[in-house]
């Protein structure tokens, strides 16, 4: 039977946790304790662990991060301490020691946050990281785009073998996620909400639009599918190239299967369409972008505003033709403008 | 109603159920137990201020509430602040999320609407901190308070605590969301702060004699 994946990205997929995953969590237990990520008591005995495990699954919303196609478990993403009266929860992402990577961690986190905001009536999601483990926050400029708000810095919170670290507590608010999610999710070929900009804003209770709880993801996708078919019949193709994907993204979370240079070449051929986004307005109206240049293992695009000094964006690919680094260089005001946008320029 | 005589502190099988951890001329701190469930239920559903203790779903049957309370009491150090000579229960102090490995815990303070005076909160907290730091290997103690409840401790006490966190719009109360503040105290800073607050409360002698000993009634 095929596994029901909850989110499929470029490097990983999220699947629901199973009772039989207890064996994985037992393997990870020591590492989780070391990282202070274990949200349950521990037990060395198998029977004791089974009881704890049951209660743990009931108290948390846990998804296992797997690598496709072999479905190898890499770690898990988890929501815990849910307070649905006040609409918040805590979230964490864990990757086992041999699979630790900023990119996979970030992709899994983004997929999980998107799931949380799409399916639960949450206003904010907290997460706490030790300052020795906060480098992943810089893997994509999350802090710079103002995705998180630091709401606590707890001095000498963790102490191990005579060394102490601080704990940083961040909050991710629904409105900020809605505004910036497309920028992040498009990097990973992910998506949950879909819909036009107007429809997305209706989902956000902080947008000031009277609204109820968002419709379920399935019904939204059905609605989007019908909308797409209807537009295609009318000869309208509101579309946006996903730079990581061979496929064209039609206003809906279609995920790509081919990545890397082939996708980029495809992307260059359709460059004239790149300045259009689904809503039909230019991506970055105040910056004029030049032609993207593909050289060796990097794609570079330069842009400027009113003849000012240029801003250069570079995507570097690794040997598997997956994005390994994104860099932005240029005058601070243009970089800020780019970072404030909810779309990458391609 | 608070039991005040020795006989009321015995369970049917004769085990002592209540333990005083602090006593002064004005206040006692005793452990909370399941017999306090009605009192705690009333306090938890106090709608006059946002508060952050015994977090559970606000709507539940009393049976569910008691079942949950039993779990909460097992996993925390929960004490009732009571009048030493009277019959009134004044509030509650609770240490939860106790993490002996890293040496910290969190504290919640709640005061009954009729007894929201800073000297009650401050004195009770002194007794509670003495007990915790005397009995548990803690390096650091967090105090979680919603903004309007800061007055329960008085400015002097607050000035000795580091403000390390502000969880914005953390809880809904009445017509708006409220921020939850997280204040922190390190063990090494406690003696100095304790001396200042105790002097200000004019309870230095009494506090010095009861100290962190804690005793069974």
Percent of chain A with pLDDT over 70: 47
Residue A280 tokens read as 């039909």
pTM (two decimals): 0.65
pLDDT digits (tens, 9 = 90+) for A83-108: 888 899 999 999 998 888 777 888 89
d(CA B69, CA B57): 12
If one compares A147 and A116, the residue with the highest pLDDT of the two is: A116
Percent of chain A with pLDDT over 90: 14
pLDDT mean over A4-9: 80
Q: Assess whether pLDDT exceeds 50 at residue A224.
A: no
Task: Give residue A236's pLDDT band: very low, low, confident or very high (50, 70, 90).
Answer: very low
Interface test with B, best of A153, A154, A166 (most B CBs within 10 A): A154
Residue B84 tokens read as 């030493």
Contacts of A123 (CB under 8 A, 6+ apart): A86, A87, A88, A173, A174, A205, A206, B169
Task: Give residue A185's pLDDT band: very low, low, confident or very high (50, 70, 90).
Answer: confident
Task: Give residue A77's pLDDT band: very low, low, confident or very high (50, 70, 90).
Answer: very high
Name which of A83, A152, A157 is nearest B104 (Cβ-Cβ).
A157
Q: Assess whether pLDDT exceeds 50 at residue A210.
A: no
To the nearest 10°, report the CA torsion of A285, A291, A293, A298. 10
Name which of B102, B162, B166 is nearest A151 (Cβ-Cβ).
B166
pLDDT digits (tens, 9 = 90+) for A40-63: 555 556 666 777 777 778 888 999
Min Cα distance B59 → chain A (Å) is 10
Helices (H), B136-164: 155-159
Q: Assess whether pLDDT exceeds 80 at residue A294.
A: no
Q: Assess whether pLDDT exceeds 50 at residue A333.
A: yes
d(CA A221, CA A3): 20
If one compares B214 and A11, the residue with the highest pLDDT of the two is: A11
To the nearest 10°, report the CA torsion of B80, B84, B90, B95. -30
Residue in A302, A311, A312 with CA at minimum distance from that of residue A334:
A311
Closest-CA residue of A relative to B142 is: A154
User: Mean pLDDT, chain A, as a whole number?
Assistant: 66
pLDDT beneath 70, residues of chain B = 1-17, 53-60, 203-217
Q: What is the pLDDT of residue A272?
A: 29
Contact assignment for B165 to A154 by CB distance below 8 Å? yes
Closest-CA residue of A relative to B57 is: A85
Q: What is the pLDDT of residue B50?
A: 85
d(CA B144, CA B124): 15
pLDDT mean over A173-196: 71
Name the least confident of A245-249, A280-284, B57-61, B162-166. Answer: A245-249
Instruction: Identify whether the C-beta of residue B199 lies closer than 8 Å to the C-beta of residue B157.
Output: no
Residue A297 tokens read as 């293992």
pLDDT mean over A104-124: 89
Residue A53 tokens read as 């495990």
Q: Assess whether pLDDT exceeds 70 at residue A142.
A: no
Q: What is the pLDDT of residue A296?
A: 63
Q: What is the pLDDT of residue A53?
A: 78
Min Cα distance B186 → chain A (Å) is 10
Closest-CA residue of A relative to B75 is: A41
Q: What is the pLDDT of residue A28?
A: 87
């Amino acid at each position: 039977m095929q596994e029901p994946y909850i989110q499929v990205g470029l490097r990983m997929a999220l699947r629901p946790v199973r009772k039989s995953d207890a064996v994985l969590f037992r393997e990870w237990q020591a590492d989780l304790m070391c990282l202070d990520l274990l949200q349950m008591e521990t037990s060395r005995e198998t029977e004791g662990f089974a009881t704890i495990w049951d209660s743990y699954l009931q108290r948390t919303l846990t998804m296992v991060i797997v690598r496709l196609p072999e479905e190898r478990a890499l770690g898990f993403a988890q929501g815990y301490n849910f307070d649905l009266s006040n609409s918040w929860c805590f979230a964490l992402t864990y990757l086992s020691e041999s699979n630790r990577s900023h990119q996979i961690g970030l992709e899994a986190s983004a997929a999980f946050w998107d799931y949380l905001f799409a399916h639960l009536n949450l206003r904010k999601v907290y997460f706490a990281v030790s300052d020795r483990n906060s480098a992943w926050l810089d893997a994509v400029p999350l802090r710079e785009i103002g995705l998180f708000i630091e709401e606590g810095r707890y001095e000498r919170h963790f102490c191990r073998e005579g060394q102490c670290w601080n704990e940083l507590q961040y909050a991710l608010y629904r409105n900020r996620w809605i505004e910036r999610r497309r920028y992040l999710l498009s990097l990973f070929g992910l998506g949950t909400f879909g819909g036009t900009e107007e429809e997305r804003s209706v989902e956000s209770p902080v947008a000031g639009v009277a609204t109820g709880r968002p419709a379920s993801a399935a019904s939204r996708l059905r609605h989007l599918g019908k909308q797409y078919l209807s537009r295609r019949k009318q000869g309208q193709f509101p579309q946006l190239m996903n730079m990581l994907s061979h496929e064209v993204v039609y206003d809906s979370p279609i995920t790509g299967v081919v990545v890397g240079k082939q996708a980029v070449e495809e992307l260059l051929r359709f460059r004239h369409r790149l300045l259009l986004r689904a809503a039909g307005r230019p991506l970055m109206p105040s910056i004029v972008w030049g032609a993207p240049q593909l050289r060796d293992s990097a794609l570079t695009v330069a842009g400027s505003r009113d003849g000012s000094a240029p801003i250069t964006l570079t995507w570097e690919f690794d040997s598997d033709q997956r994005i390994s680094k994104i860099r932005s260089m240029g005058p601070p005001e243009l970089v800020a403008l780019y970072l404030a946008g909810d779309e990458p320029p391609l | 109603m608070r039991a005040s005589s020795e006989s009321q502190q015995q369970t049917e099988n004769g085990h002592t159920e209540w333990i005083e951890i602090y006593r002064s001329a004005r206040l006692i701190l005793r452990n909370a137990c399941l017999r306090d469930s009605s009192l705690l239920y009333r306090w938890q559903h106090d709608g006059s201020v946002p508060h952050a203790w015994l977090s559970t779903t606000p709507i539940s049957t009393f049976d569910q509430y008691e079942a949950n309370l039993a779990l909460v009491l097992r996993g925390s150090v929960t004490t009732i602040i009571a009048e030493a000579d009277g019959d009134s229960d004044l509030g509650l102090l609770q240490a939860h999320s106790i993490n002996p490995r890293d040496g910290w815990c969190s504290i919640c303070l709640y005061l009954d609407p009729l007894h929201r005076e800073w000297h009650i909160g401050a004195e009770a907290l002194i007794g509670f901190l003495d007990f915790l730091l005397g009995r548990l290997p803690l390096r650091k103690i967090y105090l979680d308070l919603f903004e309007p409840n800061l007055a329960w401790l008085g400015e002097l006490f607050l000035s000795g605590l580091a403000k390390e966190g502000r969880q914005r719009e953390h809880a809904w109360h009445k017509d708006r969301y409220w921020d939850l503040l997280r204040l922190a105290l390190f063990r090494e800073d406690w003696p100095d702060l304790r001396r200042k607050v105790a002097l200000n409360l004019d309870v230095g002698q009494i506090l010095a004699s009861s100290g962190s000993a804690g005793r069974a009634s």
